């Protein structure tokens, strides 16, 4: 079964808490890499953590609900994108019309 990312924690403690919570609720979860931070030069904190918490696809909605993350349906994502494109088109049209009116005066 395919695995889905349900959380990208910013630190080790958050990752451990999320894994523990999911496992307590009998949701099989795993970290995609070591929970230990990688020391890097040039990072503001001196460390980076490239970590994702993944669960089986059929349990992803339950895991996200448990972790307090909203679940957005793919259709809703598309609707938001369409609405954003319509708004951008309208704003651009109004701006061009206003510029043409100002130029003709």
pLDDT interval class at 14 (50, 70, 90): confident
Phi, psi dihedral angles at 5 (to 5 degrees): -75, 130
Cβ 18 vs Cβ 7: under 8 Å: yes
Cβ 36 vs Cβ 99: under 8 Å: no
Q: Return the domain boundaries, the chain.
A: 1-71, 72-105
Query: What CATH number has the domain spanning 1-71?
Result: 3.30.70
Interval 34-87: pLDDT, tens? 655 555 555 555 555 578 889 999 999 899 889 887 555 556 667 788 888 999
Handedness of CA 57, 72, 27, 20 (dihedral sign): positive
What radius of gyration, in Å, describes the C-alpha atoms of the chain?
22
Model confidence pTM above 0.75 = no
């Amino acid at each position: 079964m395919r695995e889905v990312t349900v959380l990208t924690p910013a630190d080790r403690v958050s990752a451990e808490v999320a894994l523990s919570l999911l496992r307590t609720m009998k949701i099989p979860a795993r970290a995609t890499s070591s929970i230990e931070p990688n020391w890097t030069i040039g990072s503001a904190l001196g460390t980076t953590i490239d970590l994702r918490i993944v669960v089986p696809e059929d349990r992803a909605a339950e895991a996200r609900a448990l972790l307090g993350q909203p679940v957005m349906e793919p259709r809703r994502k598309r609707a938001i994108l369409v609405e954003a494109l319509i708004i951008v088109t309208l704003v651009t049209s109004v701006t061009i019309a206003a510029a043409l009116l100002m130029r003709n005066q």
